[in-house]
Amino acid sequence: MSDLRARTTKQFFGVPDGEVYPRGFVAGDEVLGDLAKVAIEEGWAEKVSGDEPASTTDSSKQEAPAGEAKGLSTTNLVSGAGNGNGASIEIPEDWKSMKWFALKALAEKIAGRDVKDSDDAKAVVEAEFTKRAPKAA
């Protein structure tokens, strides 16, 4: 495995180094090693320089702060991360039209747990999206 790091700019399936099964990655995830190399070559990620601080989240999930990739909106981004409260995970405005694997990955990041099914994933994202919505004056 190489020390290459990249931040994803698109959603895709990939198998992280040392793992057997593919996982869904969404824009803003950090990927490492050979998966990072492939993602950069395919245009799915941008290289992260070695002087940038390492992600402070669980490296087995390869999460990184969302919203830093080119062209991503941070309108639904709040501070804090990695504790399952959904903070600092970007929720796209069109999240309801996301493909299942991307919705599942997003919901699991927000909840900090595995989601049971499609309904569970939608409920997790909907609750967090509603919580972040601007309050009417």
Kindly give the confidence (pLDDT) of every residue in the chain, 137 residues in length, as a single tens digit, with 9 standing for 90 and above.
578 999 999 888 888 888 888 888 888 889 999 999 999 999 999 998 866 654 433 334 443 333 333 333 333 443 333 445 555 677 888 888 888 888 888 888 888 888 889 899 999 989 988 888 777 65
Supply the pLDDT for residue 85: 52
Supply the pLDDT for residue 57: 39
Supply the pLDDT for residue 69: 36
CA distances from 126 to 61, 86, 91, 122, 132 (A): 22, 11, 10, 6, 10
**Phi, psi angles (nearest 5°) of residue 41:** -60, -35
**Judging by DSSP bridges, how do beta strands 30-32 and 12-14 pair with one another?**
unpaired
The pair of structure tokens assigned to 25 is 């990655």
CA distances from 69 to 46, 53, 62, 123 (A): 8, 16, 15, 26
